[in-house]
Structure 1
Amino acid sequence: MIKKPKILNKTPNLTVLHAAKQYGLSEFQAQLVANRTDSVEQLDKILFPQLKHIQHPGALKNIDQAADIIAKAIQGNGFIVLATDYDTDGVTSAWVANQALQNYFGVDKSRIQHIISERQTGYGITDEVVQRILNLDGQIDLVISADQGSSDEPRIQQLKQHGIKVCVTDHHQIPIDGPPASAACIINPQQAGCQYDKTVAGCFVIFLVMTQVRQRLIEHGWIDKETPSLKNLALNVALGTVADSVSLKSPNNRAIVKAGLQLINNFHSPAWQAMRQLNDNQGQAFDAEFLGFQVATRINAASRVSDVNTALKFLQAETIDEAALYLEQLDSDNLNRREQQEVMLKQAQLQAQQNYKDSSYSISLKLTGNPGIQGIIASRIGEQYGLPTVAMTDLQDGFLAGSARGIVADVDLRQAFQWMSEQNNELFTSMGGHKGAAGCMIPIEQFGSFQSLFEQAIQNQLGDEAPAPTIETDGELADWQLVPQLIDEISQLEPFGREWPKPIFSGRFKLLQQRWVGQTQTHLSCKLQSIGGTILQAIYFNARQDDSEQLDITTGQWVQCAYEPNLNRFAGRTSLQLRLTTLLSA
């Protein structure tokens, strides 16, 4: 049986609390801020994000070298190949680079070749990507990677042997062997000696590189000095940044997301006009949560079940009708992804139930199905059990592809994988990723070894006590705060995301009514009464796995909840609704 989650209230940093109030925040807002950072350094940039606060591109190691190489390629006649990853960060990276080259620097459309990795063949500049590049009919002046390339020395070396230069732009961890020696240059804030913010996404890195290229082209007189800045590209840099779950406590990421959301909500872009037609967010402005859950899911679905190029074509669409056509396909892909996900989730839940023990430090799953969905499965199972989780899919070729999610704050997956590879040098065919999310490929016969080594690696990091589901909240709210105006006060601290999470509160309520809703009858709609007598509507999505499961709560009893406050608009009326994340017997 899964351990019941612990609801813990955060302890605000009193120094930050006082400093935040000096910037004009209310006591409530200041406490939310003090629950999210222990440092007053750059607090003004965190609270009031602006593009002028972004760290100068010059802090990126090798950026001048990259600007020279790309500027020279722009003056050539051959292909400029944009080799990017298949997720939303990679797709938006491709969009940023293409927009800069074509619409700002005057590169003819026919010279730009997009080669986006295939999720099925693995992350990075794979052998398949190399072959697609080599198959191009014509001279190649430069390959620019984005959101990948740092771990791909063998393939980059192969391209170099064919006389093809590769400029790597990336944000993933540098392998122990160092950056790819065969690359013409590498721009990655993770490399030794780079002074740039380590938390930025791949699309942000290529955005900075293209900003520096613009400056170089102006210096050489190759484009007009009045050529606009690239700030309008922030709209889809914001999308890629949110989708890649990088830190939104970083002033750089907060600035680009805030600026991007402002541009998105102007709805001048055909893609975003089409998105509003499909889902207008109940008439509210699109926020970071909307980007992550409504837009990125559709873009990621393309590479999971269909053709990733549909996502890029959607972002590049020149008319709303064209954008709507591609979005219709993305929406269909997303529905297909959900159906496949439900099948694989049932497999995963059964395996997790069979293998889980109170003493477990991790969960490793061996599944059949679409490998593009395993990351979602790892997240869902990991959050359910409160454990680092790897979901692996049989590729039917002797290998398993895996996606891991750290779930527990103190876990470093990249470090765990590195330790595992040192214990068994035949374990990984490939691996990469971040502290909280990583991917790998292993021979199928190594699954047992992987399972035991992953468990040991996590135990090494966490110590003697196995982790349990934990929900950290911003404390309890008084009855007078449980009104729609609460949302306005919270929204002034946006954008929310990783390391700057949307507020979650805890509370004790009496359960007045409950009923199962939704097509699968797994969502719980209920009416709650606070200790002070306030009655509130609440919804608990995915409260149970299937319609046969029973919760150990009954109408009329007191319950302990963790929840997000939301607005519910119905029949012209606006009221506060609680979106429950946990519901326990009090």
Structure 2
Amino acid sequence: MSAVLVPNFISRGERSQNPNEGTVGAFNVGSLPFGLLDVTPDPKIRKRSVDALILRSAERDGFTPLQARVIAGRMKAEDSGLSVRQRVLPRIADLDSYHQLPDIDIAVDRICTAIQGREVIACVVDHDADGSTAGAVMLASLVDYFGMAQQDVLLFNSHRMKEGYGVSNAVVDRILQHHPLPSLIITGDQGSADHDRITRMREEGIDTVVTDHHEIPARGIPQDAVAVVNPARADSSFADKNVAGCHVAWLVMCAVRAELINRGHLPADAPRLGDLLDWVALGSACDAVSLSKSINNRALIAHGLKVMNARRRPAWEGMAVVLGKKDAYSAPDLAWKIGPRLNARSRLSEAMTGVQFLMSKDYDEAVRLATVLEEDNTTRRGIEKEMTATAMAIAALQASSDSPAIVVCLENGHAGCHGITASRLTEALGRPTMMLSPKEGEMGVFTGSLRTAAGVNIKQAMDQVVEWEPGLLLSHGGHHGAGGLRVQAGNIHLLQELFCEAVLLQVHPSQLHPLIHTDGELDASPSLAMVDELAQLEPYGREFDPPVFHGQFQVLSARVIGADKTHIKLSLKDRYGGVTSAIWFGAIKTSVFRPEPSEADVPVAAGDMVNAAYTLTSNTYRGNTSVDLQIKHARKASTSTS
């Protein structure tokens, strides 16, 4: 894979006065000093601070000391009037009302009119898991619950590489070429920043109802939309700004159901839409919504898992076959197993297969489509591995030069794997990252994905870049944690400079390093009882991270395992005398310079005392279940954990 190196951060005083000066040149990783890029910096291990008020309240609410410590490290005291138990384990009855959403009455009126008038409705959704699940929710609601004819409900989802993000002109072209032409568009997980395309459809006689959750751009909402249902609007009374796009789509469909009953179109006992919450749970988990600030997200994911584990939907039986899964689905399964497979198809080609899988009508179809997604995911992982290895070499050079942000261009990079690769670099280097590669079908244009680190608001940073240099970006969008953009190749150097400056407006350079937050040391040897205690606090996810602990151990044995010989199987003795098995994935580092690991690369050996950060897991083998440690990082005990 050929690569392109963007020069490191240039101070503002050295900046060229010509925004188009400079081109992106070829980069040969072999020309760099050997050893400089072999390794990424060791993460710093920090114990989480705990909120004393939350800690006391959690214990009063009946949580165990271990549970209370975990909760207090993730939640802050607030004046919501809710107890800690209500915040951690909310009920569906605690959900915020859809009546608080902006434009909800206008949206519902237009959708109900279309349903009753037998108009053709097109659901236009994003290509990721949030968009795909939003599409499934809307299709199932309109056809299966509200009785629309299947031929009167269309689904359009964007092609990640060919059409880009949002309701793009290419997507609108496809809509306008369809016969019959829809009279109403309902977007899912997009639309708030698609002013010109919504105007274009309005001029063709097509109304648009936007359902979305992304931040509203500086120019405001699309004025030519009939309604913009988005809790991120400044005039929204919906208090929770952290819900996913599929969640908003589900709320809109719930409101439509109520109005159709009110109009007599549906009977008063028409089925509720709770059985669609498995899709909402999946889309929400994959979109990394907050699970600390939002009781809505916690309630929906927890309830959605119950729906999923009832296994009434063929999709979950089909996915279980592919995953070899016999036990219940958990929150981590949503984000780390099902989500990547659902997204893999859209990363490589079109996203429709993912929606078809979600809506599989029978077991055979579900297994067939799940197998397709699995094959795509295997291909995606191979591409990602190659991209990450090359990108890490470039990124490590930038980090070693104290660049506050990472900007990497790969001439032969795959746009579908930008986001994943950027996340890998962010995790390894502790800096906001921008991954770029040529845009398919647009000569001289690069497309990119961004991921945050150190609390940097990506959307705010990109808005600042555009404020400094209007017209620098052909397009951009996103939210706090992630974003996307298009830029002319000749402007990438300037973009890197301004992005770095925008990052430094938000954080101090001392904050830019990889970091592992832990919940401290355990008060006893790891046990299955602890695993069960912690499982009761699910779901875990963004801002309510899975518990991580640290401690000192004696290494009794260490054995290299795995096809690529980069993982280590360990037996560890803790300070209480307990002996526990552990696995350390990716313990042995490789790079483009040293693709094959050697014995010299093994970081620990039998007899060593190590400080380790780890998570607790259970492992069942031949009918016996035991507690295991999954090592996140370890180093010899002569080095401080801080």
TM-score (norm 2): 0.89
Q: Is the 8 Å Cα contact of residues 76 and 141 (structure 1) preserved in structure 2?
A: no
Q: Is the 8 Å Cα contact of residues 587 and 603 (structure 2) preserved in structure 1?
A: no
What's 1:560 paired with?
A: 611
Q: Is the 8 Å Cα contact of residues 95 and 315 (structure 1) preserved in structure 2?
A: yes
What's 1:577 paired with?
A: 628
RCO greater where, 1 or 2, for CA within 8 Å and sep 6 or more?
Answer: 2
1:177-229 Cα distance to aligned partner (Å, 9 max, x none): 00111111100011111021100000000100011111111111111111111
Q: Is the 8 Å Cα contact of residues 156 and 180 (structure 1) preserved in structure 2?
A: yes
Q: Does 1:200 align with 2:243?
A: yes
Read off the aligned partner of 2:254 and give its amino acid letter: T
What's 2:130 paired with?
A: 89
Q: How does 1:132-281 map to 2 (within 5 A)?
A: 132-196=174-238, 197-249=240-292, 250-281=294-325
- Compute the displacement of 1:280 (Å): 4.6
What's 1:402 paired with?
A: 448
- Compute the displacement of 1:516 (Å): 2.0
Distance 2:418 2:509 in 1: 29
What's 2:417 paired with?
A: 373
Q: Is the 8 Å Cα contact of residues 432 and 440 (structure 1) preserved in structure 2?
A: yes
Structure 2 residue runs without a partner (length 5+): 1-38, 591-595, 638-642
**Closer, same or farther: CA 571–464 of 1 in aligned 2, 3 Å:** closer
- Compute the displacement of 1:46 (Å): 2.0
Q: Is the 8 Å Cα contact of residues 77 and 141 (structure 1) preserved in structure 2?
A: no
Distance 1:425 1:580 in 2: 46
Distance 2:531 2:466 in 1: 47
What's 2:8 paired with?
A: none
Distance 1:544 1:413 in 2: 32
Q: Is the 8 Å Cα contact of residues 160 and 350 (structure 2) preserved in structure 1?
A: no
SS at match of 2:205: coil
Distance 1:23 1:350 in 2: 49
What's 1:325 paired with?
A: 368
Distance 2:511 2:437 in 1: 26
Q: Is the 8 Å Cα contact of residues 459 and 466 (structure 1) preserved in structure 2?
A: no
Q: Does 1:469 align with 2:514?
A: yes
- Compute the displacement of 1:464 (Å): 4.8
Distance 2:373 2:324 in 1: 17
Distance 1:510 1:78 in 2: 70
- Compute the displacement of 1:440 (Å): 1.0
Of the three residues 55, 60, 84, the one matched with 2:96 is 55
- Compute the displacement of 1:517 (Å): 1.4
- Compute the displacement of 1:530 (Å): 1.1
Q: Does 1:30 align with 2:68?
A: yes
Read off the aligned partner of 1:98 and give its amino acid letter: L
SS at match of 2:563: coil
SS at match of 2:210: strand
- Compute the displacement of 1:358 (Å): 5.5
Q: Does 1:497 align with 2:541?
A: yes
- Compute the displacement of 1:58 (Å): 0.4
**Closer, same or farther: CA 544–439 of 1 in aligned 2, 3 Å:** farther
What percentage of aligned pairs have identical amino acids? 35
SS at match of 2:339: helix
Q: Is the 8 Å Cα contact of residues 158 and 350 (structure 2) preserved in structure 1?
A: no
Q: Is the 8 Å Cα contact of residues 559 and 568 (structure 2) preserved in structure 1?
A: yes
What's 1:426 paired with?
A: 471
Question: After alignment, is 149-158 or 342-351 more displaced?
Answer: 342-351
Q: Is the 8 Å Cα contact of residues 183 and 205 (structure 2) preserved in structure 1?
A: no
Read off the aligned partner of 2:316 and give its amino acid letter: W
- Compute the displacement of 1:466 (Å): 4.9
Q: How many residue pairs are counted as aligned between the two chains?
A: 583
1:15-56 Cα distance to aligned partner (Å, 9 max, x none): 111111122111111111111111154323222221111001
Distance 1:272 1:552 in 2: 40
What's 1:548 paired with?
A: 597
Of the three residues 505, 524, 539, the one matched with 1:460 is 505
Distance 2:208 2:349 in 1: 28
What's 1:39 paired with?
A: 77
Distance 1:386 1:426 in 2: 29
Read off the aligned partner of 2:597 and give its amino acid letter: S
SS at match of 1:24: coil
Of the three residues 121, 125, 130, the one matched with 2:167 is 125
- Compute the displacement of 1:551 (Å): 4.4
Q: Is the 8 Å Cα contact of residues 78 and 138 (structure 1) preserved in structure 2?
A: no
Q: Is the 8 Å Cα contact of residues 370 and 393 (structure 1) preserved in structure 2?
A: yes
What's 1:295 paired with?
A: 338
Distance 1:511 1:380 in 2: 28
Of the three residues 486, 493, 508, the one matched with 1:448 is 493
Read off the aligned partner of 1:383 and give its amino acid letter: E
- RMSD in angstroms over aligned alpha carbons? 1.4
1:109-137 Cα distance to aligned partner (Å, 9 max, x none): 00011100110121100011100110011
1:477-533 Cα distance to aligned partner (Å, 9 max, x none): 1334x1111111001101111111110001111222222211111112222111222
Distance 1:493 1:298 in 2: 26
Question: After alignment, is 240-249 or 135-144 more displaced?
Answer: 135-144
- Compute the displacement of 1:552 (Å): 4.3
Q: Is the 8 Å Cα contact of residues 557 and 605 (structure 2) preserved in structure 1?
A: no
Distance 1:465 1:294 in 2: 34
What's 2:583 paired with?
A: 539
Of the three residues 403, 411, 415, the one matched with 2:456 is 411
